[in-house]
Structure 1
Amino acid sequence: MGLRKFFEDLRQQRGAGAPGEAAGEALVAERMALAYEAAEANDYESALAIWGPLAHQGVARAQNNIGKCFSDGLGVDRDSALALRWLTLAAEGGDPVGQRNLAEIYFKGEGVQANAVRAAELYRMAAEAGDGPAQDMLSWMLVEGEMIPGDISDAKRWAEAAAAQGIVPAMTRLGMMYHNALGVERDAAAAARWWDKAAALGDADAQAMLGAAYQLGAGVPRDGVAALMWLLRAQAGASPLAEPFIHPTFAALSVAEIERAKKLANLPLPEPA
């Protein structure tokens, strides 16, 4: 969740406004929009000059943005202490993005002792406020059950919430849950449907699993060309899940079929089903 995620959060600000604008704070909305435009143009000095006064006025999203800049070194030198300070203020101010970014700091132990339990608490706060990436991360932690107690039912609920917001790893995870019968009845067709959605959106692990499904005829009709096409995409995306399947798939196809699969793998991704 680095620079790309930061810009996605900024785009949400432009469309939905920052916390604290519900009372009709048009000036705050206008200033935040100007800061967004500056940040998009890589003019972080101007963006920070706008966010600074707003942050001191208690605008939680501005506090988050400053904290994220210090965390990632955007327009300022990296400073984990200042990142922690500003993100804590944003989280305490009720900003779900600030809660998620603070959770990431605790999860990674950047400038603070790593604390997965505290990270999960913050991810849950943000998830309950509707933040898709936080819902996805909380789902992953609940599935793994290593850093916090596992809860497959809760993991599925949060993965579904994140997937509904277009969070691609959550779609892949749901496919895995149906594939492995985690909290649900094993359902190869449902697994393949989730992998198809995520694969079409570029997730390499989903592409690998969808390719394997086509190779085995699990939840989808057996189709060696489609299998190889998805496995080649997954391999190009560095998914280790493709390796056990790609060589047997090559071996089962004719030269003409292999060439067709390679051509398909080089085409733009298809639309999600």
Structure 2
Amino acid sequence: MRLTLAFLLCAAISLVAPASAQVSPTPAAPEKPAAAPAKPAPAASPKVRPTTAAKKAAPSPLPAATPAPVETPDDPNVDLVFGAFQRGLYKTAFDLATKRVQEKGDPKAMTMLGELYANGFGVKRDDAKAADWYKRAADAGDREAMFELAMLRIAGRGGAVNRQEAARLMASSAKLGNPKATYNLALLYLGGEVLPQDVRRAAELMRLAADAGNPEAQYALATFYKEGTGVPKDLEKAARLLQQASLAGNVDAEVEYAIALFNGTGTSKNEAAAITLLRKAARQNNPIAQNRLARLLASGEGMPVNKIEALKWHTIAKTAGKGDPELDQALSTMSAEDKAKADIAVRRWLSTK
């Protein structure tokens, strides 16, 4: 049940898919539009892995280019700074945010400058400047800046590691309704290293973050209900939360929900839907899903037997460390010709990853 703060020094908040199951024989070109980077979010129980301040790997600094013109919208409420950031126009976002800070002292613009410096988007990465801008925005009451500064303090970026300050900032951001901060604060209570361990409080915070739509919190809370951690054991609630997180694109939740569907655990049994989810997660390179899919293909449970495909997914899962001696044995009698076909499929898959 312990979550060490060492986990908090990883790269981005995500959850580790549990291996248990009953299934037997789951930026940017200089000023071109680009997808905005995903925000980080630390996990819970032995199966949950936290967010960290290290966040995304920063790309190489963008060359200084003449900002693409941004038209002034008819709606004065449109945020040009965030709009430019979302389109990958980081230099434009930097210039607009700087102007807004100078003219209006806008905390949101300060947070944007912190984000740009923290990731090296449109400017040279500078953790000290990022921390300074986040602090100015946090002092002005911006909940996003409080969270981001907390993550920097945990990782020791832009200053010394300060976990107590990080916990205080996280609590302030959570109190203002930031789901990511609420989720991470729950992890701190769960770990018991920065804050006193309090599993019930962790579960309460996970529920708040889950209700606000945070997929990581939904998955973590599902694990709590599945195991009876800080809440009464309730497999139906666990399945509903896994479904929500799965629909939001959490791959680990897709695997666990697929297993629940296949076995009818806390939800109606639906082998076809389970297999669809396992295939989706396997294609997203989840080794648990790849292993479960290989088992079903080898045994013919819920689908026709296909040992070539089974060996393909089994081998791919093994390259990620998910071995399975039972599958080794079950597929050992395949012909040399079929093994060669599976090997070609494996090499084709790996060459695209």
Give the TM-score taking structure 1 as reference length.
0.86
Structure 1 residue 9 and structure 2 residue 17: aligned?
A: no
SS in 1 for 2:348: coil
**CA distance in 1 between partners of 2:343 and 2:207 (Å):** 43
Confirm or deny: 8 A CA contact 2:153 2:165 kept in the other structure: yes
Match of 1:206 in 2: 289
Question: How has the CA–CA distance of structure 1 residues 265 and 80 changed in structure 2, closer, same or farther, with 3 Å as cutoff?
Answer: same
The answer (yes or no) to whether the contact 2:138–2:146 under 8 Å persists in 1 is yes
What secondary structure does 1:114 align onto?
Answer: coil
Which of 217, 222, 228 lines up with 1:134 in the alignment? 217
Say if 2:111 is the partner of 1:32: yes
1:57 paired residue number: 140
Q: Helix, strand or coil: the match of 2:12?
A: helix
Per-residue CA deviation, residues 241-273 of structure 1 (Å, 9 max, x unaligned), is: x34323312x131112112212222334799xx
Q: Provide, for residues 107-155 of structure 1, a one-character-per-residue CA deviation record: whole Å limited to 9, x for no partner.
A: 2223122222211111111111111111111112212224432222211
Q: Is the partner of 1:212 in helix, strand or coil?
A: helix
State how 1:46-85 maps to structure 2 within 5 Å. 46-85=129-168
Q: What does 1:162-177 correspond to in 2, within 5 Å?
A: 162-177=245-260
Please, which of 83, 87, 95 is the counterpart of residue 170 of structure 2?
87
Q: Deviations over 1:68-108 (max 9, x none)?
A: 22223333332221121111111111111110111111122
Output the CA distance in 2 between the equivalents of 1:168 and 1:46: 35
Query: Once the 2 structures are TM-superposed, how far is the Cα of residue 26 of structure 1 from its aligned partner?
Result: 9.8
Report sequence identity in percent. Answer: 25
1:237 & 1:63 partners in 2: Cα distance?
36
Please identify runs of 4+ aligned residues in structure 1 that moved more than 6 A: none
Measure, in 2, the Cα distance between the counterparts of 1:219 and 1:28: 55
Partner of 1:229: 312
Match of 1:248 among 316, 327, 330: 330
What is the alpha-carbon distance in structure 1 between the residues aligned to residue 351 and residue 234 of structure 2? 34
CA positional deviation for 1:39:
1.5
How many angstroms apart in 2 are the aligned matches of 1:26 and 1:269?
Answer: 50
Instruction: For 1:151 and 1:26, locate their aligned partners in 2 and report how far apart those are by CA, in whole Å.
Output: 49
Q: Give the Cα–Cα distance (whole angstroms) in 2 for the partners of residues 265 and 194 of structure 1.
A: 21
In structure 1, what residue type is equivalent to 2:339?
I
CA distance, structure 2, for counterparts of residue 54 and residue 225 of structure 1: 57
User: In structure 2, what is the equivalent of residue 219 of structure 1?
Assistant: 302
Q: For the Cα contact (< 8 Å) 1:68–1:101, is it kept in 2?
A: no
Map 1:106-117 → 2, pairs under 5 A: 106-117=189-200
- 1:18 alignment counterpart: none
Give the gaps of 5 or more residues in structure 2: 1-7, 15-36, 41-54, 56-81, 87-103
Distance 1:111 1:254 in 2: 56
In structure 1, the residue matched to 2:348 is: 267
Name the stretch that deviates more: 137-146 or 158-167: 137-146
| Alpha-carbon distance, 1:227 to partner | 0.6
The answer to which structure has the higher helix fraction is 1
Larger Rg: 2
* 1: CA distance, partners of 2:314 / 2:272: 18
Aligned-residue Cα RMSD (Å) equals 2.7
What residue number does 1:22 align with? Answer: none
Structure 1 residues 243 and 75: CA distance shift in structure 2, 3 A: farther
AA paired with 1:129?
Answer: A
Are the counterparts in 2 of residues 201 and 269 from structure 1 also a CA contact under 8 Å? no
Question: Aligned residue for 2:187?
Answer: 104
Distance 2:168 2:202 in 1: 16
Across the two proteins, how many residue pairs are aligned to each other?
A: 261
CA distance in structure 1 between the partners assigned to 2:162 and 2:171 by the alignment: 14
* Aligned-partner SS, 1:266: helix
TM-score by length of 2: 0.67
Letter in 2 for 1:4: A
More displaced 10-residue stretch of structure 1: 259-268 or 229-238: 259-268
Q: After superposition, what is the alpha-carbon deviation per residue over 1:160-198, rounded to whole angstroms, capped at 9, x for unaligned? A: 111111110000011110222211233322221111111
Report the CA distance shift for 1:203/1:158 in structure 2 as closer, same or farther (over 3 A): same
Partners of 2:139 and 2:326 lie apart in 1 by 54
Contact (CA 8 Å) 1:9, 1:97: kept in 2 or not? no
Matched to 2:231, the amino acid is: I
